[in-house]
Structure 1
Amino acid sequence: MSDMRLIVAGAGGRMGRALIRAISETPGAVVTGALEAPGSELLGQDAGVLAGLPASGVELSCDLWSLSKDADGILDFTVPAATIANVAIAAQRGLVHVIGTTGLSASDNAVIRSVTSQAIVVQSGNMSLGVNLLAALVKQVAKSLDEDFDIEIIEMHHKAKIDAPSGTAYLLGQAAAEGRGIDLAQRSVRARDGYTGPRNPGDIGFATLRGGTVTGDHSVIFAGPYERIELAHKAEDRMIFARGALKAAMWARDKKPGFYTMTDVLGIS
């Protein structure tokens, strides 16, 4: 099979550069396009050079329609508005669309789902193997323990992160909610301040920390009577997310149109 030709969306950002490096290290994959926002000062620059590699001849562009003419897939870790703008073009072109963007609203996710009858979409709040295995464990523990065990999710990221709670925290919260058989939107507590009263049994709490250069730390605490179970994951380099996204793209290349997650990619659904 020929190399998978991939577009990196947000190619000038930290994750975009990590994705370009990951592709350069992976046999069977090649960067065919680098997408950036209109007006970016990085437009026209070489994607390889920006990623700390030799010049690749692929320049950053804001024209996804042109870039996608000869592509097989797009790796998209951007912002919600950009991802939603990319969805329609990726679907029209028949690209595999790997979405790691976080902060998406319910309506954004509905738009993404709407194209999956004709497009291949792999979406996850976190693309790493470790986090997705952690989510599977969280679901099982939540299913095994009753409401005597309160669930709290703590996450910390670098000070430049713009959404909260993180997509990974939400992924873990959703896993816990599925294990308990409850609706996360109805039972999550995102903030506590002032006189809150006692904790409601069965709620899933979130705490968000921001500071420094932390790539991503996540803990899920099951706090019961006189004992606690803590499950944790600490990310040390963005390359774990980049390699996971690339694995997802190559896995999805020959799949039928539909909506997939990393649990499908890893075979742990």
Structure 2
Amino acid sequence: MSDMRLIVAGAGGRMGRALTRAISDTKGVVLAGALEAPGSELLGKDAGVLAGLPENGVKLCADLWALSAKADGIIDFTVPAATIANVAIAAQRGIVHVIGTTGLTASDNAVIHSVTKQAVVVKSGNMSLGVNLLAAITKRVAQSLDDSFDIEIVEMHHRAKIDAPSGTALLLGDAAAAGRGIELDQHSARGRDGVTGARRTGDIGFAALRGGTVTGDHSVIFAGPYERIELSHKAEDRMIFAHGALKAARWAHGKSPGLYSMMDVLGLSDI
């Protein structure tokens, strides 16, 4: 089988450069294009050099339609507006779209879902193996414990992260809610401040910390009467997300149209 030809969206950013490095040392995939926002000062720069690699001849470009003519997939860790613009083009071209963008709204998700009758989309708040295993365990623990155990999710990221709670925290919250058989949107407690009153039974709480260069720390706390269970994951390098995204792209190549998650990629969807 020939190598899967991949476009990296946001190729000039930290995650984009990590993806370029990951593609360079992964068998079965090649860098077919490097997408960057219109007007970026990085347009025309070599993607390899930006990623700290030897020059690879792939220049950053703002035209996804042109790049996607000879590609099999796009990996997209950008911002919601860019991802939604990319969704339509990827669907028209019939290429795999791996989405790791966080901060997507309900309307953004509706747009993504609307193309999955004709397109293959893998979307996850986190692409790492460890985090998705943590989500599976969180769901199972939530199934096992009644609501006398309060669920709190604590996350910390670097100072430059622009959305909160993180996509990973929401992924874990969804897993906990699924285990409890409830809707997260109706049982989510965020931004406690001032006189809030007692904690509402059944809520899933979120706390977001920002500072320094933290790649991503997440803990799910089940606090019950006189005991506490804490499940944690600490990311030490964003390369774990890059390699997870490549695994997702290769898994999705040739799949039937639909919306998939990393749980599907890792065979954890039945947990």
TM-score interval w.r.t. the shorter chain?
Answer: over 0.9
Report percent identity of matched pairs.
80
Give the Cα–Cα distance (whole angstroms) in 1 for the partners of residues 32 and 97 of structure 2: 15
User: How big is the alpha-carbon RMSD for the aligned residues of Structure 1 and Structure 2?
Assistant: 0.3
Residue in structure 2 matched with residue 87 of structure 1 by the alignment: 87
Residue in structure 1 matched with residue 143 of structure 2 by the alignment: 143
Write out aligned runs for 1:21-100 (5 A). 21-100=21-100
Residue 7 of structure 1: how far off its partner (Å): 0.2
SS in structure 2 of the partner of residue 42 of structure 1: coil
Residue 57 of structure 1: how far off its partner (Å): 0.4
Residue 246 of structure 1: how far off its partner (Å): 0.3
1:199 counterpart = 2:199: yes
SS in structure 2 of the partner of residue 182 of structure 1: coil
Give the Cα–Cα distance (whole angstroms) in 2 for the partners of residues 250 and 190 of structure 1: 36
Stretches of structure 2 that go unaligned for 5 or more consecutive residues are: none
**AA partner of residue 29 (structure 1):** V
SS in structure 1 of the partner of residue 27 of structure 2: coil
Give the Cα–Cα distance (whole angstroms) in 2 for the partners of residues 2 and 147 of structure 1: 51
SS in structure 2 of the partner of residue 247 of structure 1: helix
Residue in structure 1 matched with residue 112 of structure 2 by the alignment: 112
Stretches of structure 1 that go unaligned for 5 or more consecutive residues are: none
1:256 counterpart = 2:256: yes
> What TM-score, normalized to structure 1?
1.00
1:160 counterpart = 2:160: yes
> What TM-score, normalized to structure 2?
0.99
**AA partner of residue 14 (structure 2):** R
Residue in structure 1 matched with residue 210 of structure 2 by the alignment: 210
SS in structure 1 of the partner of residue 247 of structure 2: helix
Give the Cα–Cα distance (whole angstroms) in 2 for the partners of residues 231 and 258 of structure 1: 31
Give the Cα–Cα distance (whole angstroms) in 2 for the partners of residues 131 and 74 of structure 1: 22
SS in structure 2 of the partner of residue 74 of structure 1: strand
Give the Cα–Cα distance (whole angstroms) in 1 for the partners of residues 199 and 217 of structure 2: 24
Give the Cα–Cα distance (whole angstroms) in 2 for the partners of residues 264 and 187 of structure 1: 26
Aligned length: 269
Give the Cα–Cα distance (whole angstroms) in 2 for the partners of residues 104 and 195 of structure 1: 30
SS in structure 1 of the partner of residue 231 of structure 2: strand
Residue in structure 2 matched with residue 123 of structure 1 by the alignment: 123
